[in-house]
Amino acid sequence: MNVVLVPIDGSPAAYRALSLALKELGGAADSTLHLLNVQPPADAGADASPHARGAAMLAQAQDMALGAHRRVVPHVRTGRAEDEILACAQELGCDFVFMGTRGLGAAAAATLGSVALEVARRSRIPVTLVR
């Protein structure tokens, strides 16, 4: 496991996924940890650009990761979360994705859909979902 992607949406589950990824990577000198935040397309009434909102959300995750790992690369993308996560993982040649769930129950997930479940279903690489 050399290249790992952790999507960060600001939820507690995302930070738990990051903690697990850091634990799994350990001190592997040849590994790279990619942090990804996906923002919805720009809203005309928004007070900050999607990139600025995403970068702010990644700041805490970067601090946490840099304390435990040497090679951390942040990414902010705009679009549908599941599509951007899958595209990013493929473009970066990731070996694994660790991502949080929002803790939706089965009924809510079936009704609303779930980014995490969709990524796990469509991914060609292993995905670990963390509550």
**Domain at 120, CATH number:** 3.40.50.620
pLDDT class for 46, splitting at 50, 70, 90? low
Average the pLDDT over 19-30 and give the result. 88
CA 110 to centroid of chain Cα atoms = 22
Say what the pLDDT of residue 112 is: 45
- Tell me the backbone φ, ψ of residue 111, rounded to 5 degrees: -75, -45
The average confidence (pLDDT) of the chain is 88
Domain count for the chain: 1
- pTM of the shown model: 0.88
Say what the pLDDT of residue 82 is: 96
Query: How many other C-beta atoms are found inside a 10 Å radius of the C-beta of residue 120?
Result: 17
Q: Give the chain's length.
A: 131
What tens digit of pLDDT does each residue of 55-87 get? 999 999 999 998 777 799 999 999 999 999 999
For residue 104, pLDDT over 50 is answered with no
Give the residue numbers spanning the domain of 51: 3-130
